[in-house]
Amino acid sequence: CVYPSFVDIAGLGVEGTNIGVTSVAGGFPAAQTYLEVKMLEVAMAVENGADEIDVVISIGEFLNGEYDLMGNEIETLRKEIGDEITLKVILESGALKTAENIRAASVLAMYSGADFIKTSTGKEYPGASLEAAYVMCLCIKEYYEKTGRKVGFKPAGGVSTTDEALAYYTIVKHVLGEEWLDNEYFRIGASRLANNLLSDILGEETKFF
């Protein structure tokens, strides 16, 4: 997962493997730029070979109650990258604070074209929380029951231990069921987690990543 200007370099590095390239884009991590800039950035990332795009909602618009503007922006970026590219929408749940806000942002993002909803950037605000995860998974379930479209869930920001990862795994399994428990619909974004998981599995300190 890289910034847009590094997509082509990353693509060369993983060429011939089954590793995909994701690009954060659209003014990541604050999303505080012009829509035209966001459109160009996501389009260039895809043109350079990105398989997936991560964008952050316009938190200011959402908190101001400008839901149409926020949703229309996601729809615009969805159209800009096309249907073949996975779009992950980051809600920055730590900035939204309440369950009501997290629910509303989740529903808006999914109806605007998100393939994944993701808790946090891990940059400026509190990261993932079990409370936010539970609300988001309930929304995904409700959305699936109404539309038949499965949306993925990704907790990110501060998930670093095996126990923490298992807690999120348990929420997904309990709320959404076994069919969500693969990397097509459930991922954990945490740079420190992989080595800790491997260390616990192998029973010794491991620094593979």
Q: Return the active site residues.
A: 54, 118, 154
Kindly list the distances between the CA atom of residue 53 and the CA atoms of 35, 127, 144, 179, 202, in Å, as whole numbers in the listed order.
15, 19, 22, 23, 33
Cα 31 from Cα 47, distance rounded (Å): 21
Cα 101 from Cα 166, distance rounded (Å): 25
The CA-based angle 105-95-39, given to 5 degrees, is 60
Closest CA to 71 of 53, 91, 98: 91
Cα 136 from Cα 103, distance rounded (Å): 6
Sorted by sequence, the CB contacts under 8 Å of residue 156 that are 6+ apart come out as: 90, 118, 119, 120, 121, 122, 127, 128, 188, 189, 190
Closest CA to 186 of 199, 170, 200: 170
Q: Identify whether the C-beta of residue 28 lies closer than 8 Å to the C-beta of residue 3.
A: yes
